[in-house]
Structure 1
């Protein structure tokens, strides 16, 4: 492991603290990073639930070394060979679960895809509004409580406080118009050059206005497994050049579905007389994502697949995977709320 250029004790550290363990896998990685004895061999994730809290917490910890790191943890751990070997095992289990037809995985959702038109058809199927559908935002707009809305903010905070960051990894891996257009969309996500308008900053303002903790990863220990899996997925795709197609598919679904959800949440928050920064976050996404959806479809998705048509199946896999995990999260939230229970750990 590389040695830090400045001693850890001498550096101001705004990084988050390490979260708590949720099982054997997460305990192993936390022991290594936390300086506890870790004489055990690298644990095998084969027997763990790939979508369970233990594996997803372990994956989150490994991934965060590529973002802000952790308080008191040497930056050199980011490329430690043992941790990379461990992370690779977690990712294999996670991806196998998402691809697995025997378990209803994302790869099976709508049949094979071979052309740009196939990919766009799948995108339409996933993002098209369904009048009879009921998701968490519909529940919140149809009489959900302010406390449930605050819980929803907490779930989303795990990802939203680094909103758009994982997609940056796609930029050096795309070509021509797709590269230029993705950079343009990311420029908007990062505030178009204004630090106060970065979308992750706007979400932090939302949390503050709602009386919640806007500290990065403040609620990692309260996030259930489906929340962690949704947050981890884009990073799984983003860190691997081989999965660049899946990252583009993930991005297409995200940009194509955020606008309608934002409209519903804006209406719900207005009815609740929520603080202005809470409403503003979603108002900003209504305006931005109406444009982004078209840019992603016409100027990122199409040219990406025209340049590398062999990535079509991966693009569609990325679309289906994010839809699958969002559906899991939605089902959990609605089940808890319908039974009058908290959706947090």
Structure 2
């Protein structure tokens, strides 16, 4: 490892930060995915009409969202390549669940423990690279703004600007890939058919169709990222100052991440509600090929307020916090742990020269 490849972030290279964020994303997916699998299975049991053919639902494990199309027929495998397959209709398997804990036991006993991770493959396909881009970009921007890893962030706008910019960049880069991934899943396309499908979509709807649905994603994720990083860096700075240290413990990172994620999740809940409705609406038009007109985001807000009042924008608080808080906690604590590991390793390497 050459000195020129190192950055001011404690000697870490971009590659080492990428490995750290990738590890965090994988662990987060492994721990949180079963929660959403159980939630979706219980929703399919209580509201089967919401999972009718051609309708869409949102799969979200706290790390990333996926718009999925409901299909009829028996559960079959869809192969993204020879190493990545998943069952289309895992969310429509029969079950008589009396609660969350009973669902965990019943699914594990009757279908095998691996069924609790039925939604994991599509998450790993998209969420891991998206998270790597997001966290690596955040760190690069923060370093570019003059922040060093061993000094607390004393200026509030640094994490706000870095977090917002990183989220905009990551979402913009990943959005076309997510659209293509969902088309692969819903239309059973092979990789050989992807090129033609993309060309057809560009010819019909134009180049910007690749970013369809980006605006509601940014509406939620940019404020969330800004508030999350501001909260996390503030808590981190106070702990480091009190202990006169340059490194949080794993537990301190975990707790700070959970608190920051909870705060950001609660404040941005209305944006999450809007984003969920908008993504499902767009998904049913784009993927299920329905011809109905998609309303604007502002029109959707007006309709929600007219039909259910202000409470419509604050629905689903408990499920959101239950996923976002542990996802943020696991992600940031794992990320910080691996960064610390690489810093120590780089330091030992320099000392042994």
Structure-2-length-normalised TM-score: 0.28
Return the structure number with greater strand share.
2
Structure-1-length-normalised TM-score: 0.28
Q: Which has the larger radius of gyration?
A: 2
